[in-house]
Every structure is written in structure tokens, then in C-alpha cells.
């Protein structure tokens, strides 16, 4: 059976371990190659403004290795320049960024950022890069994705992943499903990510239609510490294989 739902593995946490000692290992590139060998469809890496984990050399090496790279990045002139001239990933995902956060805490406010999006999205697209916006599953945010010409949205699943009750989880799944339906109706591809793990992926897949790709990092890298990165990817792919999308 052909698997319709793609998996992008975020390797930021591999770089986090490396940077803890400012060492050469573990190698994000080697981890990425193991993920692809195990069946992952692509690699996600977030080049943050403070360079706390992934470095410029990492994204360049990932791109030069011929891997399908989704570069997460803030909506800044510096990042647009790096992506469009030095890295040229197959896709980029525009995300919000705060220096004090442990990880990306919420979706990009595309409504408030529309002027920047209208300026920078065409630059990225003219460089042959597909553009995604990491946003909450809200119609106004999705409308801005369409207005600026983004080909994809990545729906922020953090509120769903952090839900503490069944009713709260159900409400978040309903928001995600409606957001996916709306984006699909506008001709925008639908990805999802943040906080997806080996337990909550099943209710997510059961509820949310039209998903093209999941971007998952922490749970896979955490399992890889115990089981190996290849086994961790295979385990996640097994959970994704029967997704129908409708």
C-alpha cells in the first residue's frame, strides 16, 4: 500500500546535544541520513536567530547532501537571505521566534505579519522554495496564508498535544479539523506539527482530514536515544501508514 501521509523528522534536538559540548557529534547530517534511510520523507531543521542548536553550516550541509529539507525560520531579512541565496531548501516554514522560549510556543500571527509576508514570501518563492506558514488553525490566519501566496500551512498542534482533559482534546481536534478543511477548500496544502508523539498521533489522524505531512521531532529523537533513530522512525511510520485523508 502506498503511504499517502508524509513524515518530516525535525533534527534540532540532535544539534542541541552536540551544542551542549560544542562538539562535532552527534551529527545532524548523519541523523538526517539515518532518518531518510529508515523511510522518512524529509528533514526539518530550525535555524534560529540565536543559533542555539542548528547552525548555518548544518542547513547548508543538509541541502548539499540532496535531502528534502524543510527549513524552519523566523520572518526576518537575515533568514530570508540565508534561505534564498545560501541554502535553497525545497521548502521553508515561517515560524514565530522568541529568544527566551524553550521551543516554538505558538503559531505565527500571520494577520499582524501580513506586510512582512507580502514582502518576503515572493522572494522565497522566486528562489524556488515552497513556503509554509506555521499557524494556529484559525480561518483569519489561513486567509493570510492564501493572500501572501504560501503553498502550505503547518497547523500548530501544540494546544491539542497539551490538552489535559478529553473534552479539551476533542475541542482542539475539532479546531484542527475545521482549519484543515478550510485550508484545503482554498487550495492550500495542509501540514501539521508540534508535540505529536507516539500516543496522541492516532486521535489526530482519526480526526483531521487532508493532511499532507507531519513534522515531528522531539518524540522521535527521544525514542531514538533508547531504540536508535531508524527504529524510532519505523515506529512512527507504522502508526501513519493507514491514513486515508478524507
Residues annotated as catalytic are 46, 72, 194
Contact 11, 28 (CB under 8 A): yes
Length of the chain equals 246
Query: Between the CA of residue 78 and those of 81, 128, 196, what are the distances in Å?
Result: 5, 18, 30
Contact 53, 13 (CB under 8 A): yes
Could you tell me where the beta strands, DSSP code E, fall in the chain?
A: 6-10, 42-46, 69-73, 91-94, 130-135, 152-156, 189-193, 211-216
Beta bridge partners of 44: 10, 70
Alpha-carbon torsion angle 85, 87, 93, 96, nearest 10: -80
Amino acid at each position: 500500500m502506498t503511504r499517502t501521509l508524509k513524515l518530516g523528522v525535525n533534527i534540532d534536538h540532535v544539534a542541541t546535544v552536540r551544542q551542549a559540548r560544542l562538539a562535532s557529534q552527534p551529527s545532524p547530517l548523519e541523523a538526517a541520513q539515518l532518518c531518510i534511510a529508515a523511510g522518512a520523507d524529509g528533514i526539518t531543521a530550525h535555524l534560529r536567530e540565536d543559533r542555539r542548536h542548528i547552525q548555518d553550516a548544518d542547513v547548508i550541509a543538509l541541502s548539499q547532501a540532496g535531502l528534502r529539507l524543510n527549513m524552519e525560520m523566523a520572518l526576518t531579512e537575515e533568514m530570508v537571505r540565508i534561505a534564498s541565496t545560501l541554502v535553497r531548501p525545497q521548502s521553508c516554514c515561517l515560524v514565530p521566534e522568541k529568544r527566551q522560549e524553550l521551543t516554538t510556543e505558538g503559531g505565527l500571527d500571520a494577520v499582524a505579519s501580513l506586510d512582512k509576508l507580502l514582502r518576503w514570501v515572493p522572494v522565497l518563492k522566486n528562489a524556488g522554495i515552497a513556503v509554509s506558514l506555521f499557524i494556529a488553525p484559525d480561518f483569519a490566519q489561513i486567509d493570510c496564508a492564501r493572500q501572501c501566496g504560501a503553498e502550505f500551512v503547518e497547523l500548530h498542534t501544540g494546544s491539542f498535544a497539551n490538552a489535559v482533559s478529553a473534552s479539551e482534546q476533542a475541542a482542539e481536534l475539532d479546531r484542527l479539523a475545521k482549519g484543515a478543511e478550510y485550508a484545503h477548500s482554498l487550495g492550500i496544502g495542509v501540514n501539521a506539527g508540534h508535540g505529536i508523539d507516539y500516543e496522541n498521533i492516532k486521535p489526530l489522524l482519526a480526526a483531521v482530514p487532508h493532511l499532507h505531512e507531519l513534522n515531528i521531532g522531539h518524540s522521535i529523537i527521544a525514542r531514538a536515544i533508547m531504540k536508535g533513530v531508524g527504529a524510532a522512525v519505523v515506529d512512527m511510520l507504522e502508526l501513519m501508514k493507514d491514513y486515508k485523508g478524507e
